[in-house]
Structure 1
């Protein structure tokens, strides 16, 4: 191989990786009794150019279908496994061997989410020990540089989120999150955050719908030198501010869920969902006022409507596609 050919291959590799990071991913929720089989779902991701997938469990049929796809994967550790993994390093080793090592040669694992919205919760103290044990198991397998370990949180961790520069985690979770943020910083891992302007709009009558849908014609919130035209940026920057206050200024943020329901009442309409999702996809590579030009790696919830999710209502209507794989919206990934 010539030197020029070698560097051309390396350049293409970097470009492909860059494109993968720039693309928007989609979460694969499976609480439905009418969904297509995993191999067809993975084909749907590939044919639509969807740049990432979040899996909420370790279903091996899905992992098998992902072989050779190069689709970046967030893989969740299910809550029922966390106590054993936190208490027993050998349980973490077994989990990594069975669900990561067995597929790592040709599945593009990017992040392991150790718990989804467990902080705050009934047993948040198990999250960090489980993260440490998974990290050590990855290191033993030689995979620690390739796969980052994190946990996924909601905006429920905030004590203050407005204005974005005042973003701070609540005192209730401070002692839990402080060592987790240190773990993320020392391992070069991002915090995974579920960011839903839809819920913030519902919970605050002072928020304008246009601000939540990326359709405000101008600045809505001025925060010192920074100007905010949409709620998504404000929520993301509140997380960055909270991380900074906890010594995590070098910790990145991955939006591990966001979305807008198409039915179920109120502003949960097909038109509003189309507006939010299309504007989101066009926006995330622009960064936020706090971090302009820095792509926000983002995963939309979810690939399909899930007819068995409880409680019923808007929760059944987050899908980008119908169960027959036909698109609900006009989106361009």
Structure 2
């Protein structure tokens, strides 16, 4: 990251191009309640956060409530994970959470505060829900999650109100992707460019 930053500066683009890195959500631990969030390995994250703070670049984080739900369906309600109104709420130090996405993101903010870097901006570089071949992976749930995400992120989180820059994974289903079968079905569209389900931006 430092090398890329130096190259950008040398090219005269330092004021217009930011250098960052994306991390998986599991760089944060003790995420429930959200205020308990802390980086699992501060020796790894510390230099990254120092760099980001010094350059004004955001931390890119991949946040997937789907995997949290898939791994713990007894304690995480599907409605809470998919933005369905009227689901269980979580109260944490005066803040009320009506969906898992907000709780996960605010645990990142809590970890940044504990690391002494509360000013580092967070960008959600990936989030989504599979529509087939996995636990809770249906077109109905994928539509509920992604439409809920689109409708919600303009408001930010209980801890950090305001628009939250967020990217949906993915544009297309990846029918030739290896790994878990559900990994082939995160797309908004099929490989033939037909919609996997309806959604509105």
Q: Given the two structures, how large is their TM-score scaled by the length of structure 2?
A: 0.96
Is residue 330 from structure 1 mapped to residue 198 from structure 2 by the alignment?
Answer: yes
Are the equivalent residues in 1 in contact too, given 2:173–2:188 (CA < 8 A)? yes
TM-align CA RMSD: 1.2
- What's the offset of the Cα at 1:287? 0.7
Are the equivalent residues in 1 in contact too, given 2:62–2:125 (CA < 8 A)? yes
Are the equivalent residues in 2 in contact too, given 1:261–1:268 (CA < 8 A)? yes
Partner Cα distance (2:67, 2:78) in 1 = 11
Is residue 188 from structure 1 mapped to residue 24 from structure 2 by the alignment?
Answer: no
> By percentage of residues, which structure has more helix?
1
Larger Rg: 1
Partner Cα distance (2:14, 2:101) in 1 = 31
Are the equivalent residues in 2 in contact too, given 1:193–1:253 (CA < 8 A)? yes
Are the equivalent residues in 2 in contact too, given 1:219–1:227 (CA < 8 A)? no
Q: How has the CA–CA distance of structure 1 residues 206 and 219 changed in structure 2, closer, same or farther, with 3 Å as cutoff?
A: closer
Are the equivalent residues in 2 in contact too, given 1:213–1:230 (CA < 8 A)? yes
Is residue 159 from structure 1 mapped to residue 29 from structure 2 by the alignment?
Answer: yes
Partner Cα distance (1:142, 1:206) in 2 = 51
Are the equivalent residues in 2 in contact too, given 1:306–1:317 (CA < 8 A)? yes
Unaligned residue ranges in structure 2 (runs of 5+):
none
Partner Cα distance (2:60, 2:10) in 1 = 24
Partner Cα distance (1:140, 1:215) in 2 = 49
Match of 2:187 in 1: 319
Match of 2:122 in 1: 253
Instruction: Say which SS state the counterpart of residue 299 (structure 1) adopts.
Output: strand
Are the equivalent residues in 1 in contact too, given 2:64–2:127 (CA < 8 A)? yes
- What's the offset of the Cα at 1:219? 5.4
Runs of 4+ in 1 over 6 A off after TM superposition: none
Partner Cα distance (1:312, 1:156) in 2 = 18
Match of 1:240 in 2: 109
1:270 to 139, 157, 161: 139
Is residue 227 from structure 1 mapped to residue 96 from structure 2 by the alignment?
Answer: yes
Are the equivalent residues in 1 in contact too, given 2:63–2:124 (CA < 8 A)? yes
Question: How many positions carry a matched residue from both structures?
Answer: 200
**Cα offsets for 1:125-149 (capped at 9, x unmatched):** xxxxxx0000000100111221111
Instruction: Say which SS state the counterpart of residue 110 (structure 2) adopts.
Output: helix
Partner Cα distance (1:248, 1:308) in 2 = 40
Q: Given the two structures, how large is their TM-score scaled by the length of structure 1?
A: 0.59
